[in-house]
Structure 1
């Protein structure tokens, strides 16, 4: 069984692994200042955000990456999946995005499609390595 990298329990894939890195709650002056120069609706800024932050998940093994990519592919193939809900922060939650655009992205599905496309390249070797293994042995 694939274990969560932080908890002693089974790993549960979630798309928040890709976008939770942009939460600046209680880090507005550090992480927030670093991220506020990027507009997530601009395709060049978005690609930089994804490469620099969403895919820079050193705490995930090559196996975790494959499981996450499979999960993301499944959600992208579901035409009814509400990607905007991932970016909605409940008033009772301790979380905030670095810029107003994050709360109402022009194309939240497109953001995650870009994550998928860029991860295919950035994680190519890890994904290949994991795909060659028997998942039952994890």
Structure 2
């Protein structure tokens, strides 16, 4: 059985919900990306949708259709758990090189943010998700 490989490394790809936050990482980009993201209010549905479309749907070109399906599948599973605490994904770890925009770790409704990601990726990546669903995932 082959394992899906990471898009940048020669290691196995193990999708994590945190990967959806990668496009919003302002570490060492505070004056460019950070300033752009500060114009949005993550607690407003319209702003969230604009951010997700611009930074996840449109800019995730490094992910192929299999990576996208794997990510959407783990997000779907997490959303099916009523008790899943999405706020833990937003907590900044001191040893991490990932920095989210100010205030994201105290987002009013992290579940709604991830529900929006799920809804919009299902729409924006529809063709890729369909293509991947027609394959035997054990062959990846």
Q: Under TM normalisation by the shorter chain, which class is it?
A: over 0.9
> Shift in Å at residue 7 of structure 1?
1.2
Q: Deviations over 1:106-126 (max 9, x none)?
A: 110110000000011100000
- Counterpart pick for 1:120 among 118, 122, 125: 122
Structure 1: any 5+ residue segments left out of the alignment? none
Q: Report what 2:83 is aligned to.
A: 80
TM-score normalised by L of structure 1: 0.93
CA–CA distance in 2 between the matches of 1:95 and 1:66? 23
TM-score normalised by L of structure 2: 0.92
CA–CA distance in 2 between the matches of 1:23 and 1:126? 25
> Shift in Å at residue 20 of structure 1?
2.2
Q: Does 1:57 find its partner at 2:71?
A: no
Over the aligned positions, Cα root-mean-square deviation in angstroms equals 1.2
CA–CA distance in 1 between the matches of 2:112 and 2:62? 25
> Shift in Å at residue 53 of structure 1?
0.6
CA–CA distance in 2 between the matches of 1:127 and 1:62? 6
Q: Which runs of 4+ in 1 moved over 4 A?
A: none
Structure 2: any 5+ residue segments left out of the alignment? none
